[in-house]
Structure 1
Amino acid sequence: MSALRMLPRARPMHLDSSVVMGLRFASGDQTRIMSGDREVVGYGINGRPIYFDSQDCPFPAIRFRELTPEVCAIREKELGDWKKLSLCEKKMLYRHSFCQTYAEFQKFTPDWKLVLGLGLWSLAIGCAITVISKLNLYNDPPETFEEDRRSAQLRRIIQLQMNPITGLSSKWCYERNQWK
């Protein structure tokens, strides 16, 4: 008895909605349905039958277009001498398999201008919000931040000999009344 038959089933097979005529759907069936009648010609990325132009994976798993009678006739002609094919027929064969050439999908597009513009506008709006919030939301600094108050506080720390081992008082010479 196989190991699969020994596993308990949650529901009887005849009640399972994923069973059609005794077959279960696999995870790749939906992409196979979506690809239509296009010929599968390779593994592609992750073994999925999908098409996209990529420099990293230059050969897609399926052809770009479905098979037509015109392309069938040219493919029969292709089996013979390639010199008998016209330039138009060679291009038609290429466009049957691929959407774009390397030069077309590697061409520099002007999308960077939009992205850069939106990024700079976002940066400008963020800076404006920061400046406005600093001006309007925050109070003036407290009086203890003024220079004369800070120096008085430092004198008081030294007079009280606060933290005499590692603090500010350890760097003050009490005999000469100056910094060490």
Structure 2
Amino acid sequence: MALRTLTLLRYWNKIQTRCNTVHAICNKIGNREILGNYTFAEPTYIDHWVFPLSTLRYKEITPNIQTLRNKEKGDWRHLSIAEKKLLYRASFRQTYAEFSAKTGEWKVILGVVLMHCTVSLWIYLYILYYINSSLPVSFKKDYLLAKYDRLDALNTHAWRNLTSNR
């Protein structure tokens, strides 16, 4: 009995959440018509070539657009070109050619990237010539040879001490 009650409560919570979501969606989209299945979690309007048909109409339904929609159900030859354009603009914000037109934004991005590369190169050259102009003494060949000789002598001396103690 308790399990059944918990199941019913969980189901009731899902229904309440779904109802709240529907009310929130209706508050967001206003008086716009939902056309089909949702592309994302809720109905949205997107002008993009990946989603050629949006799930919402672009504009809200006004009396002028509603009369044109009723007139649209008949013969399209009775509609003028201006009315057809108004109907199209009520459903879509931009045409395919408008939203897929080239903007030239890549030029700005390329310019910024090249400026960063130039600044980085100048910083690298400054560090190379003015900060790291000479290596420490410990990197010179004579010093390294002397260090290896000293280590060899120390290791030989330590090895003799270890073997003589046994």
Normalised by the length of structure 2, the TM-score is: 0.70
Q: Which residue of 2 aligns with 1:130?
A: 124
Distance, in Å, in 1 between the alignment partners of 2:34 and 2:2 is: 33
Q: Residue in 1 aligned with 2:50?
A: 56
Q: For 1:129, what is the secondary structure of its paired residue?
A: helix
Tell me, in whole angstroms, the C-alpha distance in 1 between the residues paired with 2:3 and 2:77: 58
Q: What's the counterpart of residue 85 of structure 2?
A: 91
For 2:129 and 2:22, how far apart are their aligned partners in 1?
59
- Give the aligned partner of residue 160 of structure 2: none
Q: Map residues 140-179 of structure 1 onto 2, 5 A cutoff.
A: 140-142=134-136, 149=141
Number of residue pairs matched?
A: 143
Q: Which piece of structure 1 moves more, 111-120 or 59-68?
A: 111-120
CA RMSD of aligned residues (A): 3.3
Displacement, 1:23?
Answer: 4.3
User: Which 4+ residue blocks in structure 1 deviate beyond 3 angstroms?
Assistant: 1-5, 22-32, 142-146
5+ residue gaps in structure 1? 10-17, 161-180
| Structural mapping, 1:10-25, within 5 Å | 23-24=16-17
Residue of structure 2 equivalent to 1:101: 95
Partner of 1:169: none
Paired with 2:126 and 2:22, the residues of 1 have a C-alpha distance of: 55
**Paired residue secondary structure (1:133):** helix
Using the size of structure 1 for normalisation, the TM-score is 0.65
Identity of aligned residues (%): 31
Q: How far off its partner does 1:5 sit?
A: 3.2
Unmatched 5+ residue regions in structure 2? 153-166
Higher strand share: 1
Aligned to 2:6: 6
Deviation at 1:28, TM superposition (A): 6.0
> Quick check: 1:118 aligned with 2:105?
no
Other-structure match for 1:14: none
